[in-house]
Amino acid sequence: MDYTTLIIPALGIIVGILMGLTGAGGGILSVPLLVFFAHLTIAQAAPIGLCAVALASSVGAILGLKNNTLRYRAAGFMALFGLALSPLGLWIAPQIPNTPLQILFALILLLVAVRLLLEASREIRKIPEKLRVAPPCLMNAAIGKLTWTLPCARALLLAGSLAGFLSGLLGVGGGFIIVPALKRYTDLPIKSIVATSLGVLAIITGGGAIFAGFTGALNIELAAPFAIAALGGLLFGQLLSYRMRGSHIQLIFALLTLTVALGLLIKAALALNLSISFIA
């Protein structure tokens, strides 16, 4: 019996629940889970992960537009440069051996996990954030829009470009880059930051998934059930989120991310050791 037909939707549900609990950032674990349990390479799993994040973030972005919390001009500007570099990442991924890609992915996961742990710890202990200088992108309260300046455009351009490249290379949505960037470079409220991030991710990951489909890098037979199951899990995860404190959710997600990162590093180290032994 081929258990892949059962494993893929189950993994999609898990990823969807994580996205529902944490926002689109939960999609960063889609590729590692596919690597561990579906035995795919990073290059094979990345386009499938893009599909799940694209579907989930599109739903969130539509809700953000409806609630008028999504800053669509900022999202479109960041996504434009992300879209330009996403195909480059998708093209590079198959050219790199799987083990180095796993190590890179694990290191990124470690950075994300440490940041989330620090933020969750600060919130649980109710430590106030340090005062910061005025960011380059300021909200004009009179018109409800960002005031555009050259430093603002440069900051958003760099964040969007990096998110797009890593989205194509590793199949991550890029929310772990977009959200901190919007927090640092704008004075938007958190709801607008999340909604704007979802808008950026919907465009970047959607474009990346379409590009992967045209180039034959996307296994639609695996991607379709994974993405649909993720959407179902997302809706369930959102219901669960109303019953849990945000700081506790973030702490649990951070610990899970840390565990997956260490698992990827161990898996990569074992593969590297086998390769060296074989050569010797």
* Interval 194-226: pLDDT, tens: 888 888 988 988 888 898 888 888 899 999 999
Could you tell me if 171 and 47 are in contact, meaning their C-beta atoms sit under 8 angstroms apart?
yes
| Domain carrying residue 208 | 4-279
Say how far apart CA 200 and CA 180 lie, in whole Å: 13
Residue 73: Cβ within 10 Å count: 12
For residue 133, the Cα-to-chain-centroid distance in whole angstroms is: 28
Q: Which residue has the tokens 């005062």?
A: 131
pTM for the model stands at 0.83
**What is the per-residue pLDDT for 1?**
44
Could you tell me if 171 and 50 are in contact, meaning their C-beta atoms sit under 8 angstroms apart?
yes
Single out the residue of 92, 64, 255 nearest to residue 165, CA to CA. Answer: 92
State the total domains in the chain.
1
**What is the per-residue pLDDT for 98?**
83
- For residue 216, CA distances in Å to 26, 33, 35, 90, 225 come to 26, 22, 19, 11, 18
Which residue positions in the chain have pLDDT lower than 70?
Answer: 1-4, 23-26, 129, 131-132, 245-246, 273-280
Say how far apart CA 218 and CA 231 lie, in whole Å: 19
Indicate the average pLDDT of the chain: 84
**What is the per-residue pLDDT for 277?**
57
